[in-house]
Amino acid sequence: MGKIALTLEKIFVSYHIVNTFKIRNAHIDLKNQSFGRFYAVNDVSLELEEGKILGVIGKNGSGKSTLLKAIAGIFCPDSGFIDLHDNRVSLLSIGVGFQASLSGYDNIFLSGMLLGIKKDEIKKKVDEIIVFSELEDFIYKPVGTYSSGMTSKLAFSISSILDTDILLIDEVLSVGDVGFKKKSFEKIHSIITDETKTVLIVSHDEKLIREQCDKALWLEKGQIVEYGDTDQTLDAYLEFMDSFKTNAKPNT
């Protein structure tokens, strides 16, 4: 086994949920509501070697994005241990927030420093990020004035160009217009084929997972169903999904 880049040990991440209640009684019932707990990630443990590409698969709501956000430090696990082995990690996920009152230019530096990247290193990459984002003069306007497409382009450009050791990719191949989608796909391909990078990629694209990933992780209801060989894990997941869809069909 090679050098370990990422270790997860008994990771639990939960959300508080409020039981439903009638709106007309909200003013008297809210303080009496019972609160439940939903485990989005439930007892996940694994090790991933440096330079490996891990495909994370599972139905919507299975905990994939929550797991990546916990690894990125956006969510704090309820319990368990995440060891990045001194690696810098970034999450390439459309929708991860910026400071709306700051310009796109300032958000590049803010995002980079939150990733642990020194200001001088960010300066070396800032022009490349601006050109790749295609935002031109909008880069100096507040992000709060951007369209969702412009925000997505900036997020993708920052996360894909700033240099980190572990890259977490969460369903980002639908970014922007047709031209930018092609460019973003090519950029992701160059990242995941870089043998110095450790990559975790959440995707429903069977072809991408099968062709690009060294291993696959199948999550169901926040728990690991299978972790290991890509083809074996993906085949088991697809068989499960076929069975799930068949059983879900209404009787005719």
Q: Report the C-alpha gap between 57 and 204 in whole angstroms.
A: 7
pLDDT at 24: 54
Mean pLDDT along residues 80-84: 96
41 is written with which tokens? 């990630």
> Could you read off the pLDDT of 92-149 as tens digits, one per residue?
776 566 899 999 999 999 989 888 889 999 999 999 999 999 999 999 999 999 988 8
Choice between 43 and 181, residue whose per-residue pLDDT is larger:
43
Q: What HEC string does 133-162 produce?
A: HCCHHHHHCEHHHCCHHHHHHHHHHHHHHC
What domains lie within the chain, and their CATH numbers?
1-87+198-252 (3.40.50.300), 88-164 (1.10.8)
Q: Can you give the pLDDT at residue 105?
A: 97
- Tell me, what's the pLDDT at 109? 95
Percent of the chain clearing pLDDT 90 (strictly above): 55
Tens of pLDDT, residue by residue over 199-247, are 999 988 898 899 889 999 999 999 999 999 999 999 999 999 988 777 7
Q: What is the chain's mean pLDDT, rounded?
A: 87
Higher per-residue pLDDT: 27 or 208: 208
Q: What tokens does 91 get?
A: 């999450």
Q: For the ranges 30-34, 146-150, 247-251, which has the lowest average pLDDT?
A: 30-34
* pLDDT at residue 191 greater than cutoff 90: no
More confident residue, 45 or 35: 45
- Among 35-49, 56-70, 161-175, 185-199, the range scoring the smallest mean pLDDT is 161-175
Q: Is the dihedral of CA 220, 224, 225, 229 positive or negative?
A: positive
pLDDT at 92: 79
What is the DSSP annotation of the chain?
A: ---EEEEEEEEEEEEEEE----GGGHHHHGGG--EEEEEEEEEEEEEEETT-EEEEE-STTSSHHHHHHHHHTSS--SEEEEE-TT--EEEEETT----TTSBHHHHHHHHHHHTT--HHHHHHHHHHHHHHHT-GGGGGSBGGGS-HHHHHHHHHHHHHHS--SEEEEES-TT-SSHHHHHHHHHHHHHHHT-TT-EEEEE---HHHHHHH-SEEEEEETTEEEEEEEHHHHHHHHHHHHHHHHHHHSPP-
Residues 64/202, Cβ–Cβ less than 8 Å? yes
**Who wins on pLDDT, 22 or 139?**
139
